[in-house]
Structure 1
Amino acid sequence: MLGVLGAPVEAGLLQPLLGLPDWVDFSIQFTSEPMGGIQGGLNPSASSWFQNTVVGLSLGSGLNKPEKNWKELDHWQVNLELTNQAGNPNLNTELGSAFPLQTLVNPVGTWITAASVERNRGESWWSASAGLLSMDPDFLVTPAMNSYINSTLNNTLNLLVVGLPINPFVTPGVKVAAHSETMGSLAYGYFHLDPETSIAASLGVNPEQPQVQGGVQALQWSINPLRSRQDLLEPIRLNNSHVTVERMLPAPEAQLGSYLASTKLPSAQTPGMGSGLNRGIYGSLTWPLDVPLGMDNRLWAAGSLSLDPDNNPFPTFLGGGWLSQGVLPNRPLDVLALGVSRTSFSPTLSPGATYEGVIELNYSIHVSETVQLQPVMQWIINPGGEGQVQGIWAGGVQLNLNL
């Protein structure tokens, strides 16, 4: 029998501590991202601490059953989630960067971040969800980008059209998807935007966006182009022994999608935000890399293109990077990540601005299933996009606690 190091646990630490039944999953995730400037920018000594706490509750008869034994009722579950965000969200402004250097940065306060009914695919051909939803993680998300900290790299392809329901924003919506082992997955989503701002403010948050009217639709196809490489989905064997470790890197994936947003915003409140019709296409590719470094490697590339650049504040995004698991001896679950991104500015909404770029290097230290540390270094290129601010060197760390 093979022993697996770092394999996912069935539930968080709180599950057995509270003695919850098998049809209940309760979790708390705490993430903190202290970060500060090192050199360059408007104020090189600027620093901030930002954190969020996510409390999640899922109810469903199939939560702790093998999928092969599921009956129809077992596919269904109810999801509830609250997120509290706290700290100083202004580090990028103090440094002169257009985009937050930290993934977590949003208006502080407590948000409703999920209230939905979901049908999990299991071993069937379809899945669905309805309720208060965000577009992510089903749309605009490349799994490889979850390994980064800068908001342009760990983000929904840095798509920042005001009103798009991207976490922590939620709004009434529905998602449906069809799945095929040979043809991949095709997903569609529709989101009604009118109540989005009031939902965000329902627990006291100032969402820092005007009341939005309209809707968003998204269509996305994704597939594993290397389905025959089952070894890339299995644990990694250590030195030809009977001990294996969890594979931390995502499976190969090709993704192609599009979105259509029709929004109406109070013009007096939205200078430079853009409203009306926003259409775009996006795609990504994650591919294995065989090199004599580490135990497992991935290259990835992703991009998005707006078809309405006069209404989209950031009409193009390009990103790419390299991930390597187990580059240091005796640290098989750690991941080294190098990433690069470039985001353009709308010539109509931001005249005089061209682009802002980021290069990030980080190293994820797997202390345990409960604790992970991720030191990071970032270089912000052409901060603000106008060539008036010196490039920024910044550093920090991300701390994850999964309870």
Structure 2
Amino acid sequence: MNASPPAQRPGVFHGDCRQDGATFSDATVIARGLATGSLGCLLGLLLGAGAWAGEVDTPTAEASADQPFSLQQALKLPDWLRVSISYTAEPMANPIGGAAQTSAWIQDTDLDLQVGAGLGKASTDWVELDHWSLNLNVNHVAGDVSYAGRIGAFLAPQTLAYPTGFYPTELSLERDAGTSWIGLRAGVIPINSDFDGTLMTAPILDSYVHSALNNTYNIYAGNIPVTPFSALAARLDLHPHESLAVYYGWFDLKTAIPVITSLGAPVNLTPTKVGDAHILQLNYTPKGAVAATPTLPAELLSVGGFTTDFQGEGVYGSATWKSGLRLGLDDRVWIGAAYSPNFSLNQAPSFIGGGVVVQGVVPNRPQDLLILGGSHAGLSSSAPPAYPNRPYEGVLELGYRLQLNPNLNLQPTLQWIFDPSGREQPTPGILTTSVQISLSL
């Protein structure tokens, strides 16, 4: 994701895991724990969550544990309405290095709602009306957003490091291509929307915590609207072949902040540039490529370019493939890069990164992921408003995602930040530690 700005430490939970003498499934406990504030419920869930990871002997228990809790089913919602909630927290500390040894907590709660006649049908059975849906997404960010600056880093080590507040991130009308070859989306949307066919992103990058590795190739150009920021925009999706997808997006950058602030986002943000952004991206999946799994994305080659009024232009791309080595049950290797020639306009005009994500390296933990990645971000001293006086900032990230059940995972992570460039004076390299917490209902 873009180098991000940041967010209140959550309060202590209180409550009970039972009600009227009844007990609940793990995922139901999560939902009630978040709603009532029961830390004991959540801790109990974590301690007993090994069952889903492969420690269950009885077929009945295993089948039950493999089924994620669904808010959709729990609320008995109709097929034409889809609702989901996700919660992610990124507590982080740096015991070694940096301008100061300190810590921070930041979190994001995300609500998605989709309304459409075809949501409960197979796409092969759709009529024209079934292709269309209305999408709504809202985010609430809370916590300490000042962490990167306090430790002397230029790029945020937390993906969620955005200004705290409520963000009405998306309100759009969409035509899903389904089995046809054309789709579109228009309204208030971000570039990296959580639906298929997003721009400036590759799915494998979502495995990482550092903002330079996660999401948008560290493209750092003014008001580019990256979730939770959004803008008035339109996106056209073309699928001329089963292996090929072409995406074009237009974004009105002068609305990137005014639109969401008028709807309740933080009001102390000022647009740095105005104008339009145009993005063209091509995704190619080779014939016979390894398909996506519940834990790993499909093999993919993606290339694209962007141009923005008053902010310059650039190119980007990535490749994701299966290594063919016996690294675990499955794996994906990736490389990615971005470049903008406008050093006077773009604070981070170059980026190169790569890594590997391996599934099932530990016996009896087939759903866990081992995550390794690194990046080098070239920095510009002539692009306002920040003036890093160092030529680059790099990061090496090592993480392990514990998939405790289909709804909940914990991801302990270590980062080593090379040449921290957030301050004028030289700053020692930084070792950060964190445990990302992700819950989806």
1:397 and 1:207, CA in 2 relative to 1: closer, same or farther beyond 3 A?
farther
CA positional deviation for 1:6: 8.6
Aligned to 2:394: 357
Determine whether 1:284 maps to 2:318.
yes
CA positional deviation for 1:122: 1.2
Counterpart amino acid of 1:255?
A: S
Q: In structure 2, which of residues 216, 219, 228 is the aligned counterpart of residue 159 of structure 1?
A: 219
Q: Which has the higher strand share?
A: 1
Aligned to 1:261: 308
Matches within 5 A, 1:225-240: 225=286, 227-229=287-289, 232-233=290-291
Q: In structure 2, which of residues 413, 426, 429 is the aligned counterpart of residue 376 of structure 1?
A: 413
Once the two structures are overlaid, the 10-residue window that deviates more, 369-378 or 197-206, is 197-206
CA shift digits 1:58-106 (9 cap, x unpaired): 0011112111111111111100111000000111111111111111110
Query: Does the aligned pair in 2 maintain the 1:298–1:323 contact within 8 Å?
Result: yes
* Whole-angstrom distance in 2 between the partners of 1:142 and 1:376: 21
Q: In structure 1, which of residues 128, 132, 144 is the aligned counterpart of residue 204 of structure 2?
A: 144
CA positional deviation for 1:348: 2.0
Q: In structure 2, which of residues 76, 98, 103 is the aligned counterpart of residue 19 of structure 1?
A: 76
**Any runs of at least 4 consecutive aligned residues in structure 1 with deviations exceeding 4 A, and if so which?**
3-9
Query: Does the aligned pair in 1 maintain the 2:311–2:346 contact within 8 Å?
Result: no
CA positional deviation for 1:191: 0.9
CA positional deviation for 1:206: 3.2
TM-score, scaled relative to structure 2: 0.80
* Whole-angstrom distance in 1 between the partners of 2:380 and 2:118: 47
Query: Does the aligned pair in 1 maintain the 2:222–2:311 contact within 8 Å?
Result: no
Matches within 5 A, 1:212-251: 212-225=273-286, 227-229=287-289, 232-233=290-291, 246-251=293-298
Counterpart amino acid of 1:348?
A: S
Matches within 5 A, 1:296-311: 296-311=330-345
CA positional deviation for 1:8: 8.0
Aligned to 1:38: 95
Q: In structure 2, which of residues 289, 295, 299 is the aligned counterpart of residue 252 of structure 1?
A: 299
1:107 and 1:8, CA in 2 relative to 1: closer, same or farther beyond 3 A?
farther
Two-structure CA RMSD over aligned residues (Å): 1.9
Query: Does the aligned pair in 2 maintain the 1:197–1:212 contact within 8 Å?
Result: no
Aligned to 2:244: 184
TM-score, scaled relative to structure 1: 0.88
* Whole-angstrom distance in 1 between the partners of 2:277 and 2:369: 35
* Fraction of identical pairs, as percent: 35
CA positional deviation for 1:17: 2.1
Query: Does the aligned pair in 1 maintain the 2:388–2:421 contact within 8 Å?
Result: no
Q: Secondary structure at the match of 2:205?
A: helix
Counterpart amino acid of 1:206?
A: V
CA positional deviation for 1:397: 0.6
Q: Secondary structure at the match of 2:206?
A: helix
Residue correspondences, number: 371
Determine whether 1:394 maps to 2:428.
no
CA positional deviation for 1:370: 1.4
* Whole-angstrom distance in 1 between the partners of 2:66 and 2:212: 30
Aligned to 1:77: 133
Query: Does the aligned pair in 1 maintain the 2:224–2:256 contact within 8 Å?
Result: no
CA positional deviation for 1:258: 0.4
* Whole-angstrom distance in 2 between the partners of 1:38 and 1:206: 34
Q: Secondary structure at the match of 2:129?
A: helix
Structure 1 portions without partners, runs of 5+ = 235-245, 263-275
Q: Secondary structure at the match of 2:410?
A: strand
CA positional deviation for 1:4: 8.7
